[in-house]
Structure 1
Amino acid sequence: MEIDVLPDVCASYSPGVSPAFSVDTVQFGDGYQQRRPTGLNSVRETWNVSFNNLSQDDYELVYGFLKSRQGVHAFLWQPPWEYAAKRWVCTDLTSTRPSNFQVASIQATFVEDFGL
């Protein structure tokens, strides 16, 4: 099955990334601990991405794309300074539509997806 790619609308500068580490820990009685990564994909990234100053066309393209995935269906997106796209799921989506100026903004949370 082919996976869709996030529309080519430039995200605003300085998106924030937070890696989450999945670690199995064993605690021994003398205070000693052993730790190991849980599984093959033990580091999952979460990106907070903003799209600011969007025209109505770009807003409808990006917002419609992300909303249609319903927080379930993955898509491809290439984070800044990375050389290849990865799979993501949008888990949080908010937007501001224009009131005085004819520009809109979108804030989204992308969580790395390790599905097939």
Structure 2
Amino acid sequence: MALDVFQPPMRPSPGTGHAPEVNLRKASFGDGYVQASPAGLNHIRCVISFRWDYLTLNEARTIEGFLIAQGGYVPFYYTLNGEATPRKWTCAEWSLTEGYPCRFTATFKEDFTTAS
């Protein structure tokens, strides 16, 4: 099954937030010493907070429709600003604020599943 490609009607607004999600195994010892190691090969997952501040309702619904179709668990491809190669993502958190202009926010989490 080929994955969908996310192509929003416009680039996200300035202020995109990047926050890693780091998964470590930790063993705490009685004297305050902690020994840590990565939990798997991809123990650092990129989490991106996107914001579109100036959308028409139709543009906001286009983004929302794509994310609803992915169901929060189906990965899709998206190329971050400044990168040449798309990465796989999932998105289970988004919100749409109606008005003129509309505002849309979404949080993408990097996906490491082997399905492509």
TM-score category, normalised to shorter length: 0.7 to 0.9
8 Å contact kept, 1:67–1:93: no
Instruction: Give the TM-score, by structure 1 length.
Output: 0.84
User: Residue in 1 aligned with 2:103?
Assistant: 105
Aligned residues between the structures: 113
User: Residue in 2 aligned with 1:83?
Assistant: 84
Deviation (angstroms), 1:11: 1.0
The residue matched to 1:57 in structure 2 has which SS? helix
Root-mean-square deviation (CA, aligned residues, Å) is 1.8
Deviation (angstroms), 1:55: 2.5
% identical aligned pairs: 29
User: Residue in 2 aligned with 1:24?
Assistant: 25
Structure 2 alignment gaps of length 5 or more: none
Deviation larger for 22-31 or 1-10:
22-31
Alignment of 1:27-106 (within 5 A): 27-29=28-30, 31-98=32-99, 101=100, 103-106=101-104
Structure 1 alignment gaps of length 5 or more: none
Deviation (angstroms), 1:32: 4.0
Instruction: Give the TM-score, by structure 2 length.
Output: 0.84
